[in-house]
């Protein structure tokens, strides 16, 4: 049962204009550690991109001072391994893109708020989603 004194947030949208889908629960991701790339005013880093991290991406993040591999239990952070899905910050993902090592993106689980910083076309270049209707693919 939800707390009636707590304000209800409207469902967040993904970059495709649909309801935001979960990004990952193994490990539990999201700024709010709810499995989704939800955001709010307290999320100053804008953890809005659902990325499938690669070894190259993790190494790049470490090189710019964002160590995503080392566990930090105080922040409920298990440390990531290649193949994990994680809500990464828009700025750090964009920097990796500019440096040629962007992680693949799950568009359905990427928050529409990221479009304030990263164009949809750039995200689509790295998309790993498979649309439900395959007839829309250019083959």
CATH, residue 116: 3.30.56.110
Query: What's the first-to-final CA gap in the chain, in angstroms?
Result: 48
Backbone phi, psi, residue 129, to 5°: -70, 150
Write out the residue range of the structural domain in which residue 95 sits.
11-129
pLDDT over 70, % of the chain: 86
Task: Tell me how many domains the chain contains.
Answer: 1
Residues in Cβ contact with 46 at an 8 Å cutoff, skipping those fewer than 6 apart: 39, 89, 90, 91, 113, 114, 117
In this structure, is residue 6 part of a structural domain? Answer: no
pLDDT 10s digits, 25-54 = 999 999 999 999 999 999 999 999 999 999
In this structure, is residue 59 part of a structural domain? Answer: yes
How much is the mean pLDDT over the chain? 89
Bridge partners of 27, per DSSP, are: none
pTM here? 0.85
In this structure, is residue 64 part of a structural domain? Answer: yes
In this structure, is residue 136 part of a structural domain? Answer: no
In this structure, is residue 1 part of a structural domain? Answer: no
């Amino acid at each position: 049962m939800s707390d009636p004194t707590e304000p209800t947030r409207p469902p967040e949208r993904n970059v495709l204009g649909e309801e935001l889908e979960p990004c990952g629960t193994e490990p539990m991701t999201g700024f709010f550690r709810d499995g989704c790339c939800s955001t709010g005013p307290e999320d100053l880093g804008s953890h809005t991109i659902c990325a499938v991290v690669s070894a190259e991406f993790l190494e790049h993040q470490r090189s710019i001072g964002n160590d995503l591999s080392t566990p930090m239990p105080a922040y409920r952070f298990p440390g990531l391994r290649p193949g994990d899905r994680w809500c990464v910050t828009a700025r750090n993902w964009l920097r990796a893109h500019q440096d040629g090592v962007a992680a693949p993106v799950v568009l359905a689980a990427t928050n529409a708020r990221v479009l304030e910083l990263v164009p949809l076309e750039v995200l689509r270049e790295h998309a790993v989603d498979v649309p439900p209707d395959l007839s829309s693919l250019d083959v």
